[in-house]
């Protein structure tokens, strides 16, 4: 049964002093799936990922990663996992090719030269292979990091905010690659802050203050929030938002460009609350609740981080 | 012309306040800023003495007459010589000198009393280990007056004539190993140890903290690797660098300074490996303690300063008080200096240096154990 699960962990917990960075998180990710890992800064995403790849010892928890025990078999896990750190962590004073060669040696990749060449080709880095990693722009650094963490042909990739600081075009190309690789059977756990990226994932997990708040497909996550959303356009939306926020039944009023999204989890109460404002010149429309509405809702309703 | 901002006391003060806050956060830097002057005060004020006294001296006594004894008392009363042992043969005296157990050997020959009373001016030989001219020059300088005054009491009345003229005895000083008292014969080989200590510790100290500071450590730890592989892999390149330094200094010593190289250079190179390893182990240990590269450099100096001052490189080891010598004995540099000088100037073989070698090896083992224990395979 665990065979089709790349990640299958229960009760993963990590404490730093009095702070519980990760608080009993259960997570299942199927093989070949792209799992988006979301949550505000400092919610424990990086800590959780580091526990999966053996960089941190969990204080509690059990389970398997690629069929290996996460507590006792971190060596075996490291060999089959590619981990891309949040901050660029390859050698800036080595060239692209030298970095890849180093990583390939560290993982004892068979046919090393060939693997490095193929990796450079696949990611379009061949022309730049002599360039020092430190001189690369953000997008190229990210390509290099991805190439490097895939050179040993991992089964699972843990990517920690891989597209932070990368331009939209490079991000799109990056995601196309991810989907191609997932189609070949690779599993991904990707942490991100971008909604468009979250929507590209097969499955989402949202954590805040170390706790897993919701998980499932995009549709499931939205349905699970039970939010109803109206959009409104017109003049003086800032003032309108302030008045709406105090109305019972309105849980959030958030500006989206020239529109305001007004949401609440009690549809009749929400409709009642906005009724007095449904006048000219405002234009109201009931819309599908989006992922972003849900996340803003989750962030606002989540308990403050506990640190006794 | 662009208009320049006027000096603002508020902005100036903002910088001052910020610097103080940062200084306070970096406890180690602060500690070292306070600690280094304290160490220097202690070492320069209390430990270092450029006029070493009570130097260990062996006596080869072949004549037991009273005048011989008076002479020895006189020599001892000068304060420069302390008789630590009596040797029976020339060979034994030679060995004690070669091992550095004694600084001097006083040789009172057979028939000393008879020859003295006859007015034959018997020869008293004083052999000195002159590898470090600074350690012996004052003692040797004091000797001639010491000898004359020592025998004055014995040579009274009818014997008074013996004290006149050239003096009652023929004192011969035999400065061994560095007879011309050339200071750089001592300094240049010693420099090898100093340079190795400095660079090996600092470079390895930086090598691991750099990984941490640049964030590459996280990546390295996520790869399937053992601490031993990382450590030894990081050490080997610097061993090569260390040997390049040794080669350069030896070449310069030979061609530029004409330092005599009496002993076996291969033995020296082999022993150097132990010394390099000890320093690298210290560097690795420092790098596991330091948070950043600056701290690694500071720790290096914290170690380097006392080893430089207490090893006998700059100041005679035997001039220091017991407690300072005891600290000095801990540093690998102290033992390495004895080895280098021993091999190059005295022609020491393995037998004579092995005692120093194992003390360096012990130090290396302890440092490496601390280093490996402190090295974390996780980011915890």
**At a CB cut-off of 8 Å and minimum separation 6, what does B374 contact?**
B285, B288, B289
| CA within 13 Å, CB half, A136 | 27
> Could you identify the residue written with the tokens 């560095």?
B178
Secondary structure class of A306 (helix, strand, coil): coil
A150 and A35 within one domain: yes
Q: Which of A147, A154, A216 is nearest to A185 (CA)?
A: A154
Residue A181 lies in a domain: yes
Secondary structure class of A42 (helix, strand, coil): coil
Nearest chain B residue to A17 by CA distance is B380
A79/chain B closest Cα distance in angstroms: 6
> For position A264, which CATH number holds?
3.30.70.100
A273 and A187 within one domain: no
> pLDDT by residue (tens digit) across B20-74?
898 888 888 788 888 888 888 888 888 888 788 888 999 988 888 888 888 888 8
Q: Which long-range contacts (CB under 8 A, 24 or more apart) does A109-114 make?
A: A109/A151, A109/A152, A109/A153
Neighbour count for residue B369 (Cβ, 10 Å): 12
**At a CB cut-off of 8 Å and minimum separation 6, what does B357 contact?**
B271, B274, B335, B339
Give the E-state strand segments of chain A in sequence order. Answer: 5-16, 19-30, 34-38, 60-65, 68-69, 81-84, 156-160, 187-191, 203-208, 211-216, 228-233, 252-256, 259-264, 283-287
> For position A64, which CATH number holds?
3.40.50.300
B217 contact residues in A (CB cutoff 8 A): 89
Answer whether B222 sits within 8 Å of A88, measured CB to CB.
no
Q: pLDDT per position in chain B (380 positions), as tens?
A: 567 888 889 999 999 999 989 888 888 878 888 888 888 888 888 888 878 888 899 998 888 888 888 888 888 888 888 888 888 888 898 888 888 889 999 998 888 888 888 888 888 888 898 888 888 888 888 887 787 777 777 776 666 666 666 677 888 888 888 888 788 888 888 899 999 999 899 888 888 888 888 888 888 888 988 877 887 888 889 889 999 999 999 999 999 988 888 889 999 999 999 999 999 989 988 888 888 888 889 899 889 988 998 998 888 888 888 899 999 999 999 999 999 999 998 888 888 899 999 999 999 999 988 887 887 766 66
By the CB < 8 Å criterion, does B376 face chain A?
A: no
Strand order in the sheet with A228-233: A252-256, A259-264, A228-233, A283-287
Answer whether B379 sits within 8 Å of A89, measured CB to CB.
no
For β-strands B170-176 and B123-129, DSSP reports them as parallel
The A-side interface with B (CB below 8 A) comprises 50, 53-57, 75, 78-79, 81, 83, 85, 87-92, 103, 106-107
A247 and A154 within one domain: no
Packing angle, helices A96-106 and A112-122, rounded to 10: 130
Secondary structure class of B65 (helix, strand, coil): coil
Element (H, E) at B170: strand B170-176
**At a CB cut-off of 8 Å and minimum separation 6, what does A292 contact?**
A195, A256
Answer whether A104's CB lies under 8 Å from A153's CB. Answer: no
Write down the pLDDT at residue B379: 67
B210 contact residues in A (CB cutoff 8 A): none
Answer whether B221 sits within 8 Å of A55, measured CB to CB.
yes
Cα(A193)–Cα(A205) distance, integer angstroms: 12
Residue A307 lies in a domain: no
| CA within 13 Å, CB half, A39 | 27
Q: pLDDT per position in chain A (308 positions), as tens?
A: 446 899 999 999 999 989 999 999 999 999 999 999 998 888 899 999 999 988 899 999 999 999 999 999 988 999 999 999 988 999 999 999 999 999 999 999 999 999 999 999 887 888 888 999 999 888 888 889 999 999 999 999 999 999 888 888 888 988 998 999 999 999 999 999 888 899 999 999 999 889 998 999 999 999 988 899 999 998 888 888 898 888 888 999 999 888 999 999 889 999 888 888 888 888 999 999 998 899 888 887 766 554 43
Answer whether A54 sits within 8 Å of B222, measured CB to CB.
yes
Answer whether B211's CB lies under 8 Å from B162's CB. Answer: no
Cα(B209)–Cα(B292) distance, integer angstroms: 5
A186 and A74 within one domain: yes
**How far from the centroid of its chain's Cα atoms is residue B260's Cα?**
19
A148 and A32 within one domain: yes
In our burial notation (b when 16+ CB lie closer than 10 A, e otherwise), range A258-295 reads ebbbbbbebeebbbebbeebeeeebebeeeebbbebbb
Answer whether B219 sits within 8 Å of A57, measured CB to CB.
no
> Could you identify the residue written with the tokens 């790098």?
B287
Domains parsed from chain B with CATH numbers: 55-176 (3.40.1710.10), 183-374 (no CATH)
Task: Give the alpha-carbon dihedral of A48, A54, A56, A60, to 10 degrees.
Answer: 70
Residue A306 lies in a domain: no
Cα(B360)–Cα(B19) distance, integer angstroms: 41
Answer whether A36's CB lies under 8 Å from A203's CB. Answer: yes
Write down the pLDDT at residue B356: 92
Nearest chain A residue to B213 by CA distance is A89
A240 and A94 within one domain: no
- Angle, alpha carbons B148-B149-B150 (nearest 5°): 90
A218 and A160 within one domain: yes
A249 and A130 within one domain: no
Answer whether A57 sits within 8 Å of B216, measured CB to CB.
no
Write down the pLDDT at residue A308: 36
Which among A183, A204, A222 is the end of a domain? A222
Which site among B223, B225, B227, B229 would you substitute to test the A interface, given the most A Cβ atoms closer than 10 Å to its Cβ? B223
Answer whether A55 sits within 8 Å of B214, measured CB to CB.
no
By the CB < 8 Å criterion, does B228 face chain A?
A: no
Q: A159 - beta bridge partners? A: A84, A190
Write down the pLDDT at residue A306: 47
| CA within 13 Å, CB half, B318 | 22
Residue A296 lies in a domain: no
Which site among B207, B219, B376 would you substitute to test the A interface, given the most A Cβ atoms closer than 10 Å to its Cβ? B219
Cα(B50)–Cα(B45) distance, integer angstroms: 12
Q: What is the largest CA-CA distance in chain B?
A: 101
Write down the pLDDT at residue B267: 94
> Could you identify the residue written with the tokens 């992922």?
A291
For β-strands A228-233 and A283-287, DSSP reports them as antiparallel
Nearest chain B residue to A90 by CA distance is B216
A245 and A160 within one domain: no
A28 and A161 within one domain: yes
CA distances from residue A196 to A46, A57, A193, A283, A286 in whole angstroms, order as listed: 20, 33, 9, 26, 22
Answer whether B380 sits within 8 Å of A78, measured CB to CB.
no
Write down the pLDDT at residue A305: 52
- Percent helix, strand and coil across chain B, each to the nearest 5: 65, 10, 25
Residue A177 lies in a domain: yes
Q: B85 - beta bridge partners? A: B58
A33 and A105 within one domain: yes
Write down the pLDDT at residue B1: 57
A88 contact residues in B (CB cutoff 8 A): 215
Answer whether B125's CB lies under 8 Å from B90's CB. Answer: no
Write down the pLDDT at residue A182: 93
The whole model's pTM is what? 0.78
Write down the pLDDT at residue B243: 94
Answer whether A21's CB lies under 8 Å from A64's CB. Answer: no
Answer whether A87 sits within 8 Å of B380, measured CB to CB.
no
Task: Give the alpha-carbon dihedral of B174, B176, B182, B186, to 10 degrees.
Answer: -150
Which site among B208, B221, B222, B233 would you substitute to test the A interface, given the most A Cβ atoms closer than 10 Å to its Cβ? B222
Which among A54, A89, A107 has CB closest to B215?
A89
Split into its structural domains, chain A has a count of 2
Q: Which of B340, B332, B337, B327 is nearest to B365 (CA)?
A: B332
Write down the pLDDT at residue A278: 87
A258 and A154 within one domain: no
Nearest chain B residue to A53 by CA distance is B222
A79 contact residues in B (CB cutoff 8 A): 224
Give me A159's structure tokens.
Answer: 């990517």
> pLDDT by residue (tens digit) across B138-180?
888 888 778 777 777 777 666 666 666 667 788 888 888 888 8
By the CB < 8 Å criterion, does B50 face chain A?
A: no
B223 contact residues in A (CB cutoff 8 A): 78, 103, 106-107
Cα(B73)–Cα(A27) distance, integer angstroms: 88
Neighbour count for residue B111 (Cβ, 10 Å): 13
Answer whether A89 sits within 8 Å of B216, measured CB to CB.
yes
Cα(A80)–Cα(A61) distance, integer angstroms: 21
Residue A265's domain spans which residues?
228-288
Give the E-state strand segments of A120-209 in sequence order. Answer: 156-160, 187-191, 203-208
Answer whether B219 sits within 8 Å of A53, measured CB to CB.
no
Cα(A299)–Cα(A302) distance, integer angstroms: 5
């Amino acid at each position: 049964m665990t065979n089709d699960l790349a990640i299958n962990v229960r009760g993963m917990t990590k404490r730093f002093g009095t702070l519980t960075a990760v608080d009993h998180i259960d997570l299942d990710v199927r093989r070949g799936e792209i799992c988006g890992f979301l949550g505000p800064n400092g919610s424990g995403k990086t800590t959780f990922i580091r526990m999966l790849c053996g960089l941190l010892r969990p204080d509690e928890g059990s389970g398997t990663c690629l069929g290996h025990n996460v507590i006792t078999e971190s060596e075996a896990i490291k060999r089959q996992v590619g981990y891309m750190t949040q901050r660029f962590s390859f050698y800036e004073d080595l060239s692209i090719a030298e970095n890849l060669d180093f990583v390939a040696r560290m993982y004892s990749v068979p046919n090393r030269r060939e693997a490095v060449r193929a990796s450079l080709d696949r990611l379009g880095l061949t022309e730049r292979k002599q360039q020092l990693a430190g001189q690369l722009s953000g997008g190229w650094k990210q390509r290099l990091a991805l190439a490097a963490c895939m050179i040993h042909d991992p089964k699972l990739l843990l990517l920690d905010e891989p597209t932070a600081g990368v331009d939209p075009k490079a991000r799109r190309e990056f995601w196309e690659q991810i989907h191609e690789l997932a189609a070949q059977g690779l599993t991904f756990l990707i942490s991100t802050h971008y909604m468009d990226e979250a929507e590209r994932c097969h499955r989402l997990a949202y954590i805040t203050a170390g706790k897993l708040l919701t998980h499932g497909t995009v549709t499931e996550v939205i349905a699970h929030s039970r939010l109803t959303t109206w959009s409104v356009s017109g003049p003086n939306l800032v003032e309108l938002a302030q008045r709406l926020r105090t109305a019972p039944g309105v849980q959030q009023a958030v500006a989206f460009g020239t529109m305001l999204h007004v949401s609440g989890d009690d549809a009749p109460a929400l409709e009642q609350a906005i009724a007095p404002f449904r006048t000219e010149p405002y234009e109201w429309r009931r819309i599908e609740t989006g992922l972003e509405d849900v996340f803003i809702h989750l962030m606002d309703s989540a308990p403050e981080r506990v640190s006794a | 012309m662009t208009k320049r901002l006027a000096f603002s006391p508020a902005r100036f003060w903002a910088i001052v306040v910020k610097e103080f806050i940062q200084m306070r956060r970096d406890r180690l830097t602060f500690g070292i800023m306070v600690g280094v002057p304290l160490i220097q005060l202690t070492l320069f004020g209390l430990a270092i003495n450029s006029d070493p006294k009570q130097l260990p001296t062996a006596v080869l006594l072949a004549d037991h007459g009273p005048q011989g004894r008076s002479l020895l008392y006189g020599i001892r009363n000068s304060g420069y010589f302390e008789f630590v042992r009596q040797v029976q043969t020339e060979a034994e005296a030679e060995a004690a000198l070669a091992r550095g157990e004694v600084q001097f050997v006083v040789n009172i020959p057979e028939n000393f009393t008879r020859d003295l009373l006859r007015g034959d001016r018997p020869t008293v030989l004083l052999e000195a280990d002159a590898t470090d001219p600074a350690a012996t020059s004052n003692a040797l300088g004091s000797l001639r007056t010491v000898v004359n005054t020592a025998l004055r009491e014995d040579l009274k009345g009818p014997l008074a004539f013996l004290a006149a003229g050239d003096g009652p005895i023929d004192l011969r000083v035999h400065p061994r190993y560095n007879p011309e008292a050339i200071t750089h014969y001592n300094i240049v080989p010693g420099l090898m140890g100093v340079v190795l200590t400095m660079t090996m510790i600092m470079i390895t100290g930086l090598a691991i903290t750099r990984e941490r500071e640049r964030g590459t450590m996280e990546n390295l730890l996520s790869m399937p690797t053992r601490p031993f592989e990382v450590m030894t892999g990081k050490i080997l390149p610097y061993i090569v660098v260390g040997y390049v330094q040794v080669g350069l200094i030896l070449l310069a010593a030979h061609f530029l300074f004409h330092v005599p190289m009496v002993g076996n250079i291969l033995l020296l190179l082999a022993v150097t490996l132990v010394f390099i390893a000890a320093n690298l182990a210290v560097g690795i240990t420092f790098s596991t303690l330091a948070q950043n590269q600056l701290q690694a450099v500071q720790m290096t100096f914290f170690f380097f300063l006392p080893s430089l001052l207490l090893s006998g490189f700059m100041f005679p080891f035997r001039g220091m008080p017991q407690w300072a010598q005891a600290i000095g004995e801990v540093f690998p540099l102290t033992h390495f200096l004895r080895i280098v000088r021993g091999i190059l100037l005295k022609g020491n073989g393995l037998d004579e240096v092995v005692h120093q070698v194992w003390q360096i090896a012990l130090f290396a083992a302890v440092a490496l154990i601390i280093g490996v224990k402190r090295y974390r395979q996780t980011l915890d």
